[in-house]
Structure 1
Amino acid sequence: MSTTASGPARRAEADLEALPLAPPAATGLREVVRRRYLLGMLVRNTIKSRYQGTVLGWLWSYLQPAIRFAMFYFLFQVMIGRGSGMENFAIHLFAGMVIVHFFTETFNGGTQSLVQNRSLITKLPVPREMFPVARMLVAAWHTVPMLIILVVPCVLLGWRPDLVGMAAALLGFTLAAALGLALGLLFSVGNVFMRDVGKIAQTLTQFVTFSVPMMYPFTLVDDRFGDPWSGYYLLNPMAEAVLLIQRGFWTGTTSDPEVTAAVHLPDQLFARGLTMTAISIVLLVLAQRVFSRLEARVPERL
């Protein structure tokens, strides 16, 4: 969080810093939920700081993804005809981009959250898990406009929500949220002790874009490498999350959704998604325990 913010952002930060000191707060994600009012203030302050000084303000969160989708549609669908082998390839691409954006912003934002909020951490007796959680909620807030931009062309192409598809999309977001928050907790406390951890997180998220079936279909991986390598590829939880959201939105825009899902999506999609989500939740619990062991040393290192 910037300490040079002005206007509403500065007033919001001043309100947080003006809260009376109290004995050391209990820690843990449950305590973060209990203090949801303070969590809401932190989320609002972070969002205001991002658009501080702009004329359009939060409208940029709609304008930027809309322009991005238009560019991808023109490039992949019109110019180079990538969609000739797959229906509505631009939807395939943008659906993956939505969930990748949510994950990377949760991961990177969570990693930097303790360092960027050092002034609050040293003054307020709050559970420090609140800062990575707040960055996940900010990422979710910025993902909503992207979802709206995704849904509009889907509806125009004949997509209608179905129970299985919505369950797939929800499972994909749950998987990305649990994994992103777990990594955000681990890397945020590591970044306090060694700033190189933040650079490592940024480097890792760059690989995410190319390691998921977003700019290329899963069938390309399966055809090029076959078993068992395509199976190893599916061990990437973000690849699974992308496939789940594509099942929720992209397949419904094609002329025969059932055939599209059978051809372009792997078998056992839900079973693998549920397994990876469970593993991510276990990782989140372990990450929170590691965070709790190290957080007492965070103020002195900041």
Structure 2
Amino acid sequence: MAGQTDQLIKPGSGHGLLDVYGDRFLLKLLVRKEIKVRYRGSVLGLLWSYVKPLVQFLIYFVALGIFLNLQRGTPNYAIYLFSGIVLVNFFTESLSNATRSIVDNRDLIRKIYLPRELFPVATVWVSAAHFLPQLVVLVGACLVVGWAPTLLQLAAVVLIFLMVAVLGTGLGLLFGAMNVYFRDSENIVDMIVMVVTWASPVLYLWTMVAKVMGDWFWIYQLNPMTVAVEVFHWAFWEPTLKADQLVNDATPPGMLTLWLPIAMLITLAVLFVGQLTFRRLAVHFAQEL
């Protein structure tokens, strides 16, 4: 009996995100469940992964590219625009769904114990499943206009994907835990989602911001999503330009050597704070739900 007692684990305790890796099978089941529930009764199903960003792209392209004539000063503006949209959509979908993940799975959480981190992480995986088809469309469009990336640019794409996934997970853990206690968290996240598209150079060039902010431009660069979008433009949009279309200010100075490492450090800090907050609040999730 003494030996069995020593092996008992205090309810609610665990190793955080490390437990998610240990319960990979449960994570796989949750991802399948999320996808099935989301498209239950839907005619198009996963095809919505193509339709939604396509409609969003067309609206922005017509409003900004044609009506405001931004495409005139930006070669291959359609590639520039879409490469930013698909990345920001991945982040916003991950954050929004992760924020609601604990509350949406309240029935399961109240019945059994399993690592609570599984729910936000599963939603990020679902968002990744939506991101990949959009990425395929982006690559196809880039190839049509002569995309010729280097190995470094392809590696940067993978790195940025992982960074944005970690950022979405960290913020999702933070706001997902807070949302159990304060439902206003969903409204805060909705505002973040609304702002992030405009707070990153998705629809416009970073040089426009630099001209306005001047010496304070570094504040704009502290946003990890700003750096992520700039790297995506460097990897997808810039290799589609001809030699006479390239300009010296296509990418911000020090993007890879300075701002990308800073963005990664900020992302890891967000993940640490999100995991710490989540673990402290997760103990009483079942009671609060």
Q: TM-score, normalised by structure 2?
A: 0.89
Q: CA RMSD in A?
A: 2.1
Aligned AA for 2:155? Answer: A
Partner of 2:54: 66
Q: Is it true that 1:295 corresponds to 2:287 in the alignment?
A: no
- Name the count of aligned residue pairs: 279
Q: Alignment partner of 1:299: what SS?
A: helix
The residue number in structure 1 matching 2:6 is none
In the other structure, the counterpart of 1:173 is 161
Q: Which moved more, 1:63-72 or 1:106-115?
A: 63-72
- Secondary structure at the aligned position of 1:210 is classed as coil
Query: Per-residue CA shift, 1:153-192, capped at 9, x if unaligned?
Result: 1100000232121122223222222221111111111110
Report what 1:40 is aligned to.
28
Cα distance in 2 for residues equivalent to 1:274 and 1:209: 22
Gaps of 5+ in 1: 1-21
Q: Deviations over 1:91-137 (max 9, x none)?
A: 11111111111111111111111000001111222100111101111
Residue deviations 1:42-88 (CA, integer Å, cap 9, x gap): 11111111111122222222233334445544555555532111101
Change (3 A) 1:23 1:242: same
What is aligned with 1:282? Answer: 269
Distance 2:217 2:260 in 1: 16
Q: Distance in 2 between matches of 1:187 and 1:67?
A: 28
Which letter does structure 2 place at the counterpart of 1:92?
Y
Instruction: Tell me the distance in 2 between the aligned counterparts of 1:210 and 1:133.
Output: 26
Q: In 1, distance between residues paired with 2:24 and 2:67? A: 48
Pick from 173, 180, 203: which aligns with 1:185?
173
Residues 10-21 of structure 1 aligned to structure 2 (within 5 Å): none
Is residue 2:85 matched to residue 1:102?
no
Assess if the C-alpha contact under 8 Å between 2:61 and 2:81 holds in 1. Answer: no
Query: What is the match of residue 130 of structure 1?
Result: 118
Partner of 2:217: 230
Q: Which of 146, 154, 177 pairs up with 2:134? A: 146
Select between 79-88 and 108-117 the one with higher mean Cα deviation: 79-88
Contact 2:57 2:85 in 1 (8 A): no
> Which residue does 2:3 correspond to in 1?
none
Alpha-carbon distance between aligned partners in 2 of 1:280 and 1:161, rounded to the nearest angstrom: 26
Q: Which amino acid aligns with 1:252?
A: P
Tell whether 2:197 aligns with 1:209: yes
CA deviation after TM superposition for structure 1 residue 274, in Å: 1.9
Equivalents in 2 of 1:190, 1:300: separation in Å? 14
Find the counterpart in structure 1 of residue 255 from structure 2.
Answer: 269
Q: Distance in 2 between matches of 1:162 and 1:238?
A: 22
The CA distance in 1 between the partners of 2:60 and 2:220, in whole Å, is 25
- Distance in 2 separating the partners of 1:115 and 1:287: 17
